[in-house]
């Protein structure tokens, strides 16, 4: 039976189940298939916080949200059109995110008496009025998977691991997508294990064929390719883009890249990605703790390498004293903070923007550092590259901020041309017999980079205060104050070397300015667009350079009567804006481990809720 094709501009799907259900893999494969097709996409993986939460419980639910479209996609979506729930707990956690009249696909085997009890249901939501406002597709996915592999000779436990492929095949049919990309992935993933390759491909086709031959669908759906700028694209996650940006910066500057780190969620994937690229002169070192990691980076930077470390908030706290040493030595090095919910261990797998004040002020003494923040997964490449450029050319440690939402999310990334990347020029000392002054500065207050082995460039290092020019140890009060002022002025002067701030979206002046940083970019862009369509006077400024701020930011702010600062914290950028520009900026805060919705930002712009 030939089924009608119904065109959709954009679709949001949530995959949900136990961690062992392969939810992240399913979501990633569906994402990659749509990316190859040419859709614009945005994703939001949502991991359980507990390492081994009991199966079937709410605490153990793993989710993957994906929005794909033929139009520009800025966020993974506020609500979903389709929910795939592998068990009762996944259904319970995610049903509130499904729009009215949306489609819910459930694995009915995951709604047995045991799973219902674990999820806290007294009566099955499949049998009462819970689904009255939704389209329900109920399939015994477990039974179908076992039937497809009944002659495979595999055990039930092994067979059940393939259930996610049935779901994937079902959705590929539903959205008129090709199976070849996932077939190739299966062959590569299970290379040398023909039984697993055959089983997973067989179940993939079983899901597709079931959707085709059953009478569930009277029509199929299609989301056309988006009209993206011409070029070569790939789907990329934030941590991957960060790693690629680091490699590009090292290559462009002619420096070897040294990455010293201690694993921590959600920053660990940067290490995993960089470890694959030794052919680019990348050296990765997994230290025994956070302090050893940054100490190794200081040594690498002193030795003339591009030294980089990464962590999340708790690890950044441990690195604090050594970061101060990097400031004192004025060495180029990069500290990456992939933020997560805090304080202390906090919410390891959930997102937050609560480390901004830590990045700017969180070291003992006066230890100023530039702070740069990415706006999206693909933006991590450009901004970490820029962070490296500033660090190398201005001889200073730099803090680069992302968060769990950016790090684990993905979107299409257009490959940049190497020739289009800004040059990065290290300021190495020139070997000669002249009297070397390690802290003699140029017009930007930048000292030269002298590395071990350079003739006549021997100099003292250490955390004790440096004498102006000579770098000798100094306890002189006047010298200390001058050095503190110089180090601050050096960071301030970086404002001369960064772009002026633009109005990113909406009006250039008017009633309301929404000022943002980090991962709130996409949702605020959507909200401002929605408000403009309703005729409201609103503009949007998104900051990537936070310390120092762009020179013209104050003038842009003056063009609006009201300033709103949305943040996933208790109000941090808003404090800086009030301090720097003496404006009565208002905050909208969300500290729930999940991103803002468009509706929340629209409500704030319209003045429908009280701001602080």
Name the burial class of residue 413, with classes exposed (0-12), middle (13-18) and buried (19+) by CB atoms within 10 angstroms of its CB.
Answer: buried
Q: List, in sequence order, every residue forming a beta bridge with 311; answer none if it has no partner.
A: 337
The pLDDT, as a whole number, for residue 2 is 66
Q: Is the pLDDT of residue 262 over 70?
A: yes
* Mean pLDDT rounded to a whole number for the chain: 95
Interval 354-369 mean pLDDT: 97
Q: Is residue 50 very low, low, confident or very high in pLDDT (cuts 50, 70, 90)?
A: confident
User: In the numeric block, which tokens belong to residue 121?
Assistant: 């249901």
The pLDDT, as a whole number, for residue 110 is 95
User: In the numeric block, which tokens belong to residue 311?
Assistant: 């962590």
The pLDDT, as a whole number, for residue 244 is 97
Interval 221-241 mean pLDDT: 92
- C-beta of residue 140 within 8 angstroms of C-beta of residue 167: no
The pLDDT, as a whole number, for residue 49 is 75
* Cβ neighbours, 10 Å, residue 8: 14
Q: Is residue 20 very low, low, confident or very high in pLDDT (cuts 50, 70, 90)?
A: confident
The pLDDT, as a whole number, for residue 159 is 93
Q: pLDDT of 388-419, one tens digit each?
A: 999 999 999 999 999 999 999 999 999 899 99
Q: Is residue 315 very low, low, confident or very high in pLDDT (cuts 50, 70, 90)?
A: very high
Interval 538-556 mean pLDDT: 98
- C-beta of residue 272 within 8 angstroms of C-beta of residue 408: no
Common-topology check for domains 234-420 and 505-605: yes
The pLDDT, as a whole number, for residue 230 is 87
Measuring CA to CA, which residue among 37, 17, 15, 39 is closest to residue 26? 15
pLDDT above 90: percentage of residues in the chain:
89
pLDDT above 70: percentage of residues in the chain:
99
SS (H, E, C) 417-452: CHHHCCCCCCCECCCCCCCCCCECECCCCCECECCC
Interval 5-14 mean pLDDT: 94
Q: Is residue 153 very low, low, confident or very high in pLDDT (cuts 50, 70, 90)?
A: confident
What angle in degrees, to the nearest 10, is found between the helix axes of 180-189 and 194-213?
160
The pLDDT, as a whole number, for residue 557 is 98
The pLDDT, as a whole number, for residue 435 is 84
Tokens 């614009």 correspond to: 40
Superfamily of domain 4-222: Pyruvate-ferredoxin oxidoreductase, PFOR, domain III (3.40.920.10)
Q: Is the pLDDT of residue 433 over 70?
A: no
Cis amide linkage into residue 239, ω under 30° from 0 = no
> Chain-centre distance of CA 570, in angstroms?
20
The pLDDT, as a whole number, for residue 432 is 72
Q: Is residue 54 very low, low, confident or very high in pLDDT (cuts 50, 70, 90)?
A: confident
Q: pLDDT of 367-390, one tens digit each?
A: 999 999 999 999 999 999 999 999
**Residue 509 Cα distances to 55, 350, 500, 541, angstroms:** 53, 35, 16, 11
User: In the numeric block, which tokens belong to residue 521?
Assistant: 């970019």
Measuring CA to CA, which residue among 342, 568, 600, 414 is closest to residue 35? 414
Apex CA 337: angle with CA 242 and CA 62, to 5°?
A: 80
**Residue 37 Cα distances to 6, 390, 462, angstroms:** 17, 37, 55
- Close Cβ partners of 70 (under 8 Å, ≥ 6 residues apart): 8, 9, 10, 39, 40, 223, 224, 225, 226, 227
Higher pLDDT, 227 or 244: 244
Q: pLDDT of 474-515, one tens digit each?
A: 999 999 999 999 999 999 999 999 999 999 999 999 999 999
Q: Is the pLDDT of residue 542 over 90?
A: yes
Q: Is residue 1 very low, low, confident or very high in pLDDT (cuts 50, 70, 90)?
A: low
Q: pLDDT of 164-193, one tens digit each?
A: 999 999 999 999 999 999 999 999 999 999
User: In the numeric block, which tokens belong to residue 346?
Assistant: 């906090």
Topology given in CATH for the domain delimited by 505-605: Rossmann fold (3.40.50)
Tokens 């092994």 correspond to: 158
Q: Residue 159: which H helix or E strand, with range?
A: helix 156-160
Q: How far apart are CA 329 and CA 490, in angstroms?
A: 13
The pTM assigned to this predicted structure is 0.94
Q: Residue 247: which H helix or E strand, with range?
A: helix 238-253
For domain 234-420, give the CATH number.
3.40.50.970
Helix, strand, or coil here: 482?
helix
The pLDDT, as a whole number, for residue 283 is 97
Domain parsing of the chain, residue ranges: 4-222, 234-420, 505-605
Q: How far apart are CA 46 and CA 409, in angstroms?
A: 9
């Amino acid at each position: 039976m030939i089924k009608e094709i119904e065109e959709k501009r954009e679709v949001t799907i949530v995959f949900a189940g136990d961690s062992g259900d392969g939810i992240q893999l399913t979501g990633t494969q569906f994402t990659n298939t749509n990316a190859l097709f040419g859709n614009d996409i945005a994703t939001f993986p949502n991991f359980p916080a507990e390492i081994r939460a009991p199966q079937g419980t709410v605490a153990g639910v793993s989710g993957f949200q994906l929005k794909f479209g033929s139009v520009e996609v800025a966020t993974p979506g506020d609500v979903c059109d389709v929910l795939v729930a592998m068990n009762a707990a996944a259904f319970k956690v995610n049903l509130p995110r499904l729009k009215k009249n949306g489609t819910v696909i459930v694995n009915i085997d995951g709604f047995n008496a045991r799973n219902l009890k674990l999820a806290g249901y007294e009566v099955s939501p499949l049998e009462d009025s819970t689904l009255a406002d939704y389209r329900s597709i109920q399939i015994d996915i477990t039974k179908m998977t076992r039937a497809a592999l009944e002659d495979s000779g595999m055990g039930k436990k092994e067979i059940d691991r393939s259930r996610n492929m049935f779901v994937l095949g079902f959705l590929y049919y539903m959205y008129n997508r090709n199976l070849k990309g996932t077939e190739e992935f299966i062959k590569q993933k299970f290379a040398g294990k023909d039984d697993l390759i055959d089983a997973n491909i067989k179940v993939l086709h079983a899901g597709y064929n079931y959707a085709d031959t059953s009478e569930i669908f009277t029509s199929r759906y299609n989301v056309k390719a988006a009209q993206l700028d011409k070029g070569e694209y790939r789907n990329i996650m934030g941590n991957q883009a960060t790693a690629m940006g680091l490699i590009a910066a090292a290559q462009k500057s002619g420096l070897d890249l040294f990455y010293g780190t201690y694993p921590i969620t959600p920053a660990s994937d940067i290490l995993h990605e960089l470890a694959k690229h030794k052919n680019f002169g990348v050296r990765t070192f997994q230290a025994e703790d956070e302090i050893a990691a940054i100490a190794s980076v200081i040594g690498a930077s002193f030795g003339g390498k591009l030294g980089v470390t990464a962590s999340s908030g708790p690890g950044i706290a441990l690195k604090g004293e050594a970061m101060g040493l990097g400031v004192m030595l004025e060495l180029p090095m990069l500290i990456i903070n992939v933020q997560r919910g805090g304080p202390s261990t906090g919410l390891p797998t959930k997102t937050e923007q609560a480390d901004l004040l830590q990045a700017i002020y969180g070291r003992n003494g006066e230890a100023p550092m530039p702070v740069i923040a990415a706006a999206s997964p693909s933006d991590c490449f450009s901004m970490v590259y820029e962070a490296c450029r500033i660090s190398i050319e201005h001889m200073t440690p730099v803090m680069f901020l992302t968060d769990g939402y950016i790090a684990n999310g993905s979107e299409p990334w257009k490959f940049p041309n190497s020739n289009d990347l800004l040059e990065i020029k290290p300021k190495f000392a020139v070997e000669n017999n002249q009297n070397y002054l390690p802290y003699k500065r140029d017009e930007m207050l930048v000292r030269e980079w002298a590395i071990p082995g350079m003739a006549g460039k021997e100099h003292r290092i250490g955390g004790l205060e440096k004498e102006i020019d000579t770098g000798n140890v100094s306890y002189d009060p006047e010298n200390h104050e001058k050095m503190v002022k110089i180090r601050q002025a050096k960071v301030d002067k970086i404002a001369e070397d960064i772009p002026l701030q633009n109005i990113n979206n909406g009006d250039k002046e008017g009633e309301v300015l929404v000022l943002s940083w980090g991962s709130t970019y996409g949702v605020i862009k959507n909200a401002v667009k929605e408000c403009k369509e309703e005729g409201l006077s609103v503009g949007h400024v998104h900051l990537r350079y936070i310390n120092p701020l762009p020179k013209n930011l104050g003038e842009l702010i003056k063009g609006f009567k009201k300033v709103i600062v949305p943040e996933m914290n208790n109000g941090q950028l808003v404090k800086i804006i009030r301090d720097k520009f003496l404006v009565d900026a208002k905050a909208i805060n969300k500290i729930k481990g999940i991103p803002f919705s468009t509706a929340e930002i629209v409500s704030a712009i319209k003045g429908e809720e009280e701001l602080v």
